[in-house]
Structure 1
Amino acid sequence: MITTLSGDTSRLLATVDFVKEQDTATLLPLLLPGLDGPELRTLAEHCRFAHAALLVFPSDEAELRTMLDDCGLVAALPPRPSVVVRERLAVRHRRPAAVLDVGILRPAVVGADGERRMVEVFALTVPPGSGLDPIAAHEREQQHETHVAFEVAAPDPLVLRGLCATFARHGATPDGGGYNPHENGTVFYFTAPAEAKVGYRRVELYVPGDHRDMLAAHLDEHRARQPAETLLRLLTGAWTTQALAAFTQLRIPDALDGERGVGVEELAREVGARPRNLATLLRYVAMLGGVTEGRDGFRLTALGALLRTDAPGSMRALALMYGGPFYESFAGLAHTVRTGEVAFEHLFGENHFDHFARDPELAELFDRSMAAGSAMFDPVPTHPVLTAAAETPAGATVVDVAGGNGELLGRILAAHPRLHGILLERPHAVEAARLRLEEAGHGTRCAFLAGDFADVPEGGDVYVLSRVLHDWDDERCREILRHCARAMPDHADLLVVERVLPSDGSVSLATAWDLHMMCNVGGRERHADHYAALFADAGLALVDRAGLPLDGNVLHVRKARSGPAGPCGGRPGNPG
């Protein structure tokens, strides 16, 4: 009896035969013509032929099982979600990722050399009447996802860079990639050179673990060759902001954890949402890395856990602020660029400080959002200036000017039990800071002063301005700095925490925040020499600068002294 195999089954069977017949040493020269003996040996030492892959289109799980059985393949069903291929298909066919049910299976195959390899089967489920048949027809013809893969044996960054460089030297070009949180693995795709002597046009390097730092440069090179795809990804940035904001507003992170999966129906009842719509949102958040999806439902990732109410270093307030008032005002960015008027003021009729101060809930949200980026503060308490102040026999006083809810001052006092603090803020913020610091056990070592910049108290040993100057134009900054200089004794130090614009135009969060400050606050980020000039105008001098997380900086400033300027605008003999 002769059995006629379906088109997808025939393609899968051909892939199985290829995997059985090939090995690392013979396949590499076919893919990269020109590989000489030493380079070939080096590549073969650090990576091995692991699998060949193709995309098939079953109508349901039963058809997929039949296909595998016909090819002698054994794999556990259902397949795991394939984040990378689903995203590639969504972009290529301009479809929402949520409507593409793409799974991945890796049944084992033993090669002619006795080596155990796999056939990687991507399965896009195409139910009758789903409207996905044109995608299946196009993909069968173009074979975009068909590839051969090599697994890197030791995921050392130097080895990985060398492998990528060797591929490039022999004509392979970056063709995308991604990180799959479901299996904690990173893939680097390449297009094989035109001279390749094998039917596969795409090559994958699979690296166990999270290597998104190196992947970023690989993707940048790929996107430079794909301007339309790059632009489309950039234009959907607003969707990401609102998806994370909605995820937070519905308190979905609070209803999930990283241990137990929760089904959509159960989760929908708990958060008060429509199951189908919630599933669509969760699949998008899964693509962003906020949740993972398994057989038992959705679990929270470490990224998503940052949006929980009770998480250490919670960024919940930041998501609500950026997805709320600041999101609304960013729609007026063109108005700001055209007229110079702050978009927030144009939309709400007043500056954001006054607007938030009149709404207690919004004011609290803003103060908590300011603390949400507290990872920037981690190294500040160990700054040499604060360490030296803490060693003063009589004890020293740290004055936090416009210190918000006391997040930074609390960290400083916790790190140095002999220090005392003074926090200057607006009345409502002072009370929030008082409660916070008293709960942390620092209330007896801290005084709280309600007022404005003109009320900076005299006699402190260390003054702190954290993310204050970027709120204001140059003239207001000079005024604030003069108030600080007036209050500072000659021996006092000033620590200014800000993001500093890179002088070489390199990628930095400071550049993004410069746009945000212009549009929503009326302030700006600045270069280091710009800050140095503002300090000098106030009778101060920049002594030193140190990097902080999240592209932050701490600028060490002292009162200027007569004599020739020292390094960074400081004066000879200044400590630090």
Structure 2
Amino acid sequence: MITTLSGDTSRLLATVGFVKEQDTAALLPLLFPGLDGPELRTLVEHCRFSHAALLVFPSDEAELGAMLTDCGLVAALPAQPSVVVRERLAVRHRRRPAELDVGILRPAVTGADGAHRMVEVFALTVPPGSGLDTIAAYERERQHETHVAFDVASPDPLVLRGLCATFARYGATPDGGGYNPHENGTVFYFGAPAEAKVGYRRVELYVPGDHRDVLAAHLDEHRAHQPAETLLRLLTGAWTTQALATFTQLRVPDAMDVERGVGVEELARKVDARPRNLATLLRYLAMLGVVTEARDGFRLTGSGALLRTGTPGSMRALALMYGGPFYESFAALGHTVRTGEVAFEHVFGENHFDHFARDPRLAELFDQSMAAGSAMFDPVPAHPALTAAAEAPAGATVVDIAGGNGELLGRILAAHPRLNGVLLERPHAVEAARSRLSESGHATRCAFVTGDFADVPTGGDIYVLSRVLHDWDDDRCRDILRHCARAMPDHADLLVVERVLPSDGSVSLATAWDLHMMCNVGGRERRAAHYDRLFTDAGLTLVDQTPLPLDGNVLHVRKARPGHAVCNA
């Protein structure tokens, strides 16, 4: 044990010396040969050398404290959990993360230039007889977790993307990263260029806050260099769907907390599950960022909390729907691709509208799942057409065609107290909407009409078609739009809410939903130009297009008039 301690202490002392000697402007050209001039000045402006890191292997907390003291470092014990390094070690050595007690300490060091820096000490506790000695020996030899790090001064997504791009331009390669909820920070790892003139082969960018949106692209690029791993991750997508659906079906999120950890045994008692099997499920979900694991047990993340019952914006129904009927029908995707027949109808013997309508439980679940994407609706009430209608002296009426459970119409009426509403739907959906709008106090300003598209009420000022047209083929869409055009007065506006396929092939949720609609509904997503042609065929004109969250769009449509300009979106 004395030899081991001396080895780790020697490595730690060398790291302390490096941190004292270097500064940002001198270190960056050593890491990225050829970097100078304006690009070097830009990097120095936006990031600063903050620390060098290494992984040590004390047998316990006392030995770790002695090691720090021998190196002249002061840090408060116990160490905070290190999520990113623990996960990397678990994957590399095929161990359960819970088996690895990895802590992180950041004792302060003053550089020769007077700057305050740190030595980042990762500590994997290796108790005698634990069987972790082989991991320690392997990691000491290969130094995988040794790196130099830069803090990003301004955690702006554009700045962050620019830094990543500059690193890549000078030979750095993405090498993983992660978000640590314990300290609310995001880590981006890079492999240093082969020409680097320092012994550190990895570089870290540390950004305070949650930047998993930018991190996702970084990790995708990392996986692009590992095609077998990338393909394997893609092939296990079905496991993810079922893990989330099972987690939701067992109501595990309802038994958990965002602030406080809950042990597996306690959770298993609450949801009537086997502790060992539940722990396996939770560890998988921790890898997905749905829960986190700490010393006090498992707790929900912000994403996991969206699977709770009654949570604002809950996506519980969506998880049950995607892990239930739609999961079954997706197994017949090949049938749709070969024959053009809808997989859902092939599996269940009828279209999804009829199938759900015959089962009250499924009908309610479907309506709730439609409302689960309600974040898309957040900006809709502020659309200029609705704002103008709300300011009309005589008042105005919004007609929501196939308005589901009234989620969108309720938001519009809440935002504009002077507007009245009309909701057209199937019988069971009308009752759900009446109940929802009554609870929110808007039912007295709303009429409820039971019927089909041929029954679109006349005389409205604003008509809304939200996520309706993507359910149908082009011929049926033309029929629906013609019914709208006939019902609309000349001054009326039609707002069509849909995901619109990008014209440049860029990544979009609309592309995924296009596959879903083909397989399960017999519908499709469309490009803006395609919608424009459908509108024209129905005697309507596309005026403009406004983006919404979740890759949604509002297509603003009016009745065609001679000389009226057409939007070429």
TM-score by length of structure 2 reads 0.90
- Cα distance change of structure 1 residues 79 and 103 upon mapping to structure 2, 3 Å threshold: farther
Q: Runs of 5+ in structure 2 lacking a partner?
A: none
In structure 1, what is the Cα distance between the partners aligned to 2:43 and 2:532? 51
| 1:178 corresponds to | 178
Return closer, same or farther for 1:261/1:45 CA change in 2, 3 Å cut-off.
same
Residue-pair matches, total: 567
User: What do residues 441-463 of structure 1 show as CA deviations (whole Å, max 9, x unaligned)?
Assistant: 12222111122222222222222
Distance 1:227 1:472, change over 3 A: same
1:214-253 mapped onto 2 (5 Å cutoff)? 214-253=214-253
- The CA distance in 2 between the partners of 1:157 and 1:404, in whole Å, is 37
- Is the Cα contact below 8 Å between 1:255 and 1:270 reproduced in 2? yes
Give 1:285 shift: 2.7
2:329 aligns with: 329
Report the CA distance between 1:420 and its aligned residue: 1.9
Shift of 1:213: 3.5
Root mean square deviation, CA, Å: 3.1
Distance 2:231 2:568 in 1: 42
Please name the residue that 1:4 is paired with: 3
Q: Deviation digits for residues 449-493 of structure 1, max 9, x if unmatched?
A: 122222222222222111011111111112222222222223322
> For residues 150-189 of structure 1, what are the structure 2 equivalents within 5 Å?
150-157=150-157, 159-189=159-189
Structure 1 residue 67 displacement after superposition: 6.2
Asked if structure 1 preserves the Cα contact closer than 8 Å seen for 2:82 and 2:104, the reply is no
Secondary structure at the aligned position of 1:5 is classed as: helix
CA apart distance, 1:540: 2.0
- Of stretches 32-41 and 174-183 in structure 1, the one that deviates more from structure 2 is 32-41
Q: Distance in 2 between matches of 1:349 and 1:503?
A: 35
Report which stretch shifted further, 544-553 or 216-225.
216-225
Distance in 1, matches of 2:61 and 2:281, equals 24
* Secondary structure at the counterpart of residue 489 of structure 1: coil
- Partner of 2:4: helix, strand, or coil? coil
CA gap of 1:166–1:458, structure 2 versus 1, over 3 A, is: closer
Q: Distance in 1 between matches of 2:485 and 2:42?
A: 62
Query: Per the alignment, in what secondary structure is the counterpart of residue 258 of structure 1?
Result: coil
Q: Is the 8 A contact 1:541 1:569 kept in 2?
A: no
1:307, distance to aligned residue in structure 2 (A) = 1.7
How far residue 408 of structure 1 moved from its aligned partner, in angstroms, is 0.9
Deviation at 1:125, TM superposition (A): 5.8
The question of whether the paired residues in 2 share the 8 Å contact of 1:253 and 1:304 is answered with yes
Q: Contact (CA 8 Å) 1:493, 1:558: kept in 2 or not?
A: yes
Unaligned runs of 5+ in 1: 571-576
1:516: Cα distance to partner? 0.9
The corresponding residue for 2:481 is 481
Q: Which amino acid aligns with 2:507?
A: V
Q: What's the counterpart of residue 414 of structure 2?
A: 414
Q: Which residue is 1:551 aligned to?
A: 551
Residue-by-residue CA offset, 1:122-153 (whole Å, 9 max, x unaligned): 34567789887766555444332221112223
2:398 counterpart SS class: strand
Query: For the residues of structure 1 that align with 2:122 and 2:74, how far apart are their CA atoms?
Result: 15
The residue type equivalent to 1:238 in the other structure is: A
Q: Call closer, same or farther: CA 1:232–1:58 in 2, change over 3 Å.
A: farther
For structure 1, which segment, 340-349 or 258-267, has the greater mean C-alpha deviation from structure 2 after superposition? 258-267
The residue that corresponds to 2:522 in the other structure is 522
Structure 1 distance, partners of 2:151, 2:371, is 42
| Per-residue deviation, residues 213-249 of structure 1 (Å, max 9, x unmatched) | 3334433433332322322332332233222222222
Q: Is the 8 A contact 1:100 1:124 kept in 2?
A: no
Q: State the partner residue of 1:385.
A: 385
Aligned partners of 2:91, 2:249: CA distance in 1, in Å? 28
2:433 aligns to what SS in structure 1? helix
Deviations 1:540-564 (A, max 9, x none): 2222221111111111222223x35
Question: Secondary structure of the residue that 1:273 maps to in structure 2?
Answer: coil
Range moving further from structure 2, 419-428 or 328-337: 328-337
Pairwise CA distance, 1:440:
1.3
Per-residue CA deviations over 1:489-536 (Å, capped at 9, x if unaligned) read 233222111111011111111111101111111111001111111122
Offset at residue 162 of structure 1 (A): 4.8
1:274 aligned partner: 274
Q: 1:329 to 1:54 in 2, by over 3 A?
A: farther
**Change in 2 beyond 3 A, CA 1:137/1:237:** farther
- After superposition, the Cα gap between the structure-2 partners of 1:214 and 1:446, relative to the gap in structure 1 and judged at 3 Å, is same
Comparing 258-267 with 5-14, greater Cα deviation is found at 5-14
Tell whether the 8 Å contact from 2:19 to 2:119 is kept in structure 1 after alignment: no
- Paired residues for 1:339-378 under 5 Å: 339-378=339-378
Distance 1:15 1:452, change over 3 A: farther
1:397 and 2:415 aligned: no
Cα 1:89–1:241 shift into 2, 3 Å: farther
| Pairing of 1:3-42 with structure 2 (within 5 A) | 3-5=2-4, 9=8, 12-13=11-12, 15-19=14-18, 21-24=20-23, 25-36=25-36
- Distance between the aligned counterparts of 1:323 and 1:131, measured in 2? 39
Instruction: Note the C-alpha offset of 1:44.
Output: 4.3
Contact 1:188 1:205 in 2 (8 A): yes
Residue in structure 2 matched with residue 432 of structure 1 by the alignment = 432
- Please, what TM-score do these two structures have when normalized by structure 1? 0.89
- Distance change (3 Å), C-alpha of 1:88 and 1:3: closer
Q: Secondary structure at the match of 1:568?
A: coil
Would the aligned equivalents of 1:261 and 1:294 in 2 still touch at CA under 8 Å? yes
8 Å CA contact 2:185, 2:210 repeated in 1: yes
Partner of 2:103: 104
Number of the residue aligned with 2:260:
260
Q: 1:479 to 1:567 in 2, by over 3 A?
A: closer
- Distance of aligned partners of 1:330 and 1:225 in 2 relative to their CA distance in 1, 3 Å threshold: same
Superposition deviation, residue 386 in structure 1: 1.8
1:315-341 per-position Cα deviation (integer Å, ceiling 9, x unaligned): 111121112221222222222212222
For each residue in 1:420-440, what CA deviation from the matched residue of structure 2 results, as whole angstroms up to 9, or x when unmatched? 222111111111111111111
- Report the equivalent of 1:296: 296
* Deviation, structure 1 residue 112: 5.9
The structural deviation recorded for 1:252 is 2.5
Of the structure 1 ranges 281-290 and 524-533, higher mean CA displacement relative to structure 2 is found in 281-290
**106-115 or 229-238: which moved more?**
106-115
Q: Deviations over 1:178-226 (max 9, x none)?
A: 2222211122222212222222111111121223333344334333323
